[in-house]
Structure 1
Amino acid sequence: MEWLVAKGGDVNAIYNFNCNDKYPTPEMWTEMEGTPHPILGYIDLLYGVIIMILYIPCLVVMLQKENIRLSCFKIMFLLGFVDLCAIAVNSVTTGVLMIEGAVYCSHPKTIFIAGALGLGFWCSACLICLILVLNRVLDILFPTLVKKYFSGSRTTCVLLIPIAYGLYFTILTPPLLFTSRYQAWFFDPFIYQNKTLEYQNYPHTANNLFIVVATCALYGYFCAAISKQFRKRLESTNKKSHAQIFLQSTLICMANFIAAMVYVYMQFFPVADFVIVIGHMSWQLGHGCPAIIYLFMNTTIRSGVSKIFRFKKPINTRTTTTVSVVGHGHQHHHHSSSLQ
């Protein structure tokens, strides 16, 4: 984004981004280089709209006073907000561009800005996801550390890190750019031949590799620790809640894991079209699946959404109630100070 600001908003003045070097008008770029994909475009668009509709009531429930005071819900809310913004880029905007058959030079300024924002949202969400899993792991295995690092306003301070991280990628690194020819976003605007490596975003590659390594390490440790507790014959309710924590956390991060690996590979090496589509779908699922997981697997959010839409009568909560967090099924009493 800094390149665009430095050139006063003139994308064609950016080095190696001059669309006029090949065709004189955006319309010619679309006609000569683009490939319309109306069916896939409408699917992307529909998916984006549905996810937004599902996600918004989940965020409303997270903001409720009894929920937002918990550190995990603060993390989940930021992740949800970032996911919504990312879906606007990788599904809604992508759908419109796919229907048209657009390439970068069809709408250079719009795609440049959207790609910069989409990249920032992706990298920020990756880090938030890891913080979320770390929060859950500490909550189960080291409750005292949760109080130390996530109590009160400390969670907000921790969440400033992924916000700054996302802004770094948005402002200071090369943006993702859409091309309907390959039905996905690349760093190469495909204006010139054999210049792909000149457009690479190496901080993005480092981010994706870090996510892969950190996710494997964290889940490996998590699995070992949970298995050890299982061998100690935990109560059946705890076994069930821990299994739910593992399942839901895994589902939330698995799409990010796949997208991270595919996007790193396809930026450097030629791959089949279906691999590119899988990578893009993983990016979409990485930002969309949390909403589905929350609604189907998180008792607190599902109950809260049901009350909002009056799908069922509100439950009397005057007695001590429990909250299952991060779609993780792990329960905390409202009067508990373990996450405050």
Structure 2
Amino acid sequence: MFSKDLINNSCYKLMIYLGFCDLHTSIYIGIYAGYISITGNVYCHWPKFAFWMGCGNGFAWKMQSTAIILLAFNRCIEAFDDYWSNLLFNGKKVYIWMFIPFLWGSHDLIWGPPGLYSPILSLLSYNPHVGYIENPTHIYIDTVVLPHNIAVAALIFLIYGIFGVLVYAKTRNFEGVGKHTKVFGQILFISLFLFMICIGYLIPLFIPLPTWLNPSMQYTFLLLDGQPAIIYLTLNSNMRDRALGLFGIKFKNKVKMFTITSKTASTTDNIIKRI
């Protein structure tokens, strides 16, 4: 990812940015939540630390999920319009775009409320005393996370759906069907996993679940959160070959010939290279 020929591409800069956000979220749900599940430390044991950990988790989630939408938009623009790609993302302009998810995520650091992991119920809750003090008036609630998650789930499907249709429309007249099929598979799976995370994030907040099911929700979140890396390494040959190259495994470049018309040659070549 940090090789010179990749890092100059705005898409890869956004992927690295997204990776750091993703790692932050996984550390909270995995390491921190696992630790307090073992020790049994609730909010009252360390209120200040738990408060800022909860705010940090909300910050990372909102920044990560917003960055995914930004990456989807970037991939569509880069694949189909050089002019707008250069105008919007060329050079240091991409860092301005990166500031938008950071600014939106900062909402949780400034105003909160923190999403706190409860070792009693093994779930994320905005009620710091969940499990031993009820919250009948719902004073502990994040009014932003519901519309945010719905918007993310809808936008990611919309953007990647348009992307998949455009790829198919631009490439159906030549023999490279396998290429755009793999690309559509990547975006379909990533969209599905993100949608499941968004919905899974909301279900325990509004629907009472059996206590035994809560740990399964956390395991599922961790599995889904790590799926994009597996998808890219299995379906994206460029990333897979580079990753294996780190372990000394090299592959010869394979050149596949396509029969295309002169009218669609430049457009098709651009699409395949950028994807």
Q: Same fold judged by TM-score > 0.5?
A: yes
Which of 68, 71, 75 pairs up with 1:129? 68
Amino acid at match of 2:156: T
Check if 1:99 corresponds to 2:47.
no
Q: Are the structure 2 counterparts of residues 207 and 74 from structure 1 closer, same or farther at C-alpha, using a change threshold of 3 Å?
A: same
Check if 1:270 corresponds to 2:270.
no
Match of 1:163 in 2: 102
Deviation of the 1:286 alpha carbon:
4.4
Q: Are the structure 2 counterparts of residues 120 and 200 from structure 1 closer, same or farther at C-alpha, using a change threshold of 3 Å?
A: same
Post-superposition Cα deviations, 1:260-319, rounded to whole Å, max 9, x if no partner, equal: 123223212323446644543443234322222233233233222222232x24868xxx
Check if 1:245 corresponds to 2:245.
no
Which of 88, 91, 105 pairs up with 2:27? 88
Unaligned runs of 5+ in 2: 254-270
Match of 1:293 in 2: 231
1:130-209 superposed matches below 5 A: 130-189=69-128, 190=130, 192-195=133-136, 197-209=138-150
Kept in 2, the 8 Å contact 1:76–1:132? The answer is yes
For 2:156 and 2:217, locate their aligned partners in 1 and report how far apart those are by CA, in whole Å.
18
Check if 1:215 corresponds to 2:156.
yes
Match of 2:258 in 1: none
Which of 211, 218, 221 pairs up with 1:283? 221
For 2:31 and 2:203, locate their aligned partners in 1 and report how far apart those are by CA, in whole Å.
25
Kept in 2, the 8 Å contact 1:262–1:279? The answer is yes
**Percent of residue pairs bearing the same amino acid type:** 25
Structure 1 residue matching 2:117: 3-state secondary structure: strand
Structure 2 residue matching 1:185: 3-state secondary structure: strand
Aligned residues: 257
Kept in 1, the 8 Å contact 2:168–2:180? The answer is no
For 2:66 and 2:8, locate their aligned partners in 1 and report how far apart those are by CA, in whole Å.
21
For 1:246 and 1:63, locate their aligned partners in 2 and report how far apart those are by CA, in whole Å.
25
Say which is worse superposed, 186-195 or 112-121, in terms of deviation.
186-195
Aligned residues: CA RMSD: 2.7
1:104-115 superposed matches below 5 A: 104-115=43-54
For 1:178 and 1:138, locate their aligned partners in 2 and report how far apart those are by CA, in whole Å.
38
Match of 1:307 in 2: 245
Kept in 2, the 8 Å contact 1:188–1:196? The answer is no
Amino acid at match of 2:154: V
Check if 1:235 corresponds to 2:140.
no
Deviation of the 1:135 alpha carbon:
1.7
Q: Are the structure 2 counterparts of residues 84 and 108 from structure 1 closer, same or farther at C-alpha, using a change threshold of 3 Å?
A: same
Q: Are the structure 2 counterparts of residues 235 and 170 from structure 1 closer, same or farther at C-alpha, using a change threshold of 3 Å?
A: farther
For 1:274 and 1:245, locate their aligned partners in 2 and report how far apart those are by CA, in whole Å.
38
For 1:120 and 1:211, locate their aligned partners in 2 and report how far apart those are by CA, in whole Å.
15
Unaligned runs of 5+ in 1: 1-61, 317-329, 333-337
Post-superposition Cα deviations, 1:26-57, rounded to whole Å, max 9, x if no partner, equal: xxxxxxxxxxxxxxxxxxxxxxxxxxxxxxxx
Amino acid at match of 1:136: R
Kept in 2, the 8 Å contact 1:248–1:293? The answer is yes
Post-superposition Cα deviations, 1:184-235, rounded to whole Å, max 9, x if no partner, equal: 21111125313461111111222111112212322333344344445xx332
For 2:251 and 2:216, locate their aligned partners in 1 and report how far apart those are by CA, in whole Å.
41
Q: Are the structure 2 counterparts of residues 276 and 225 from structure 1 closer, same or farther at C-alpha, using a change threshold of 3 Å?
A: farther
For 1:198 and 1:155, locate their aligned partners in 2 and report how far apart those are by CA, in whole Å.
39
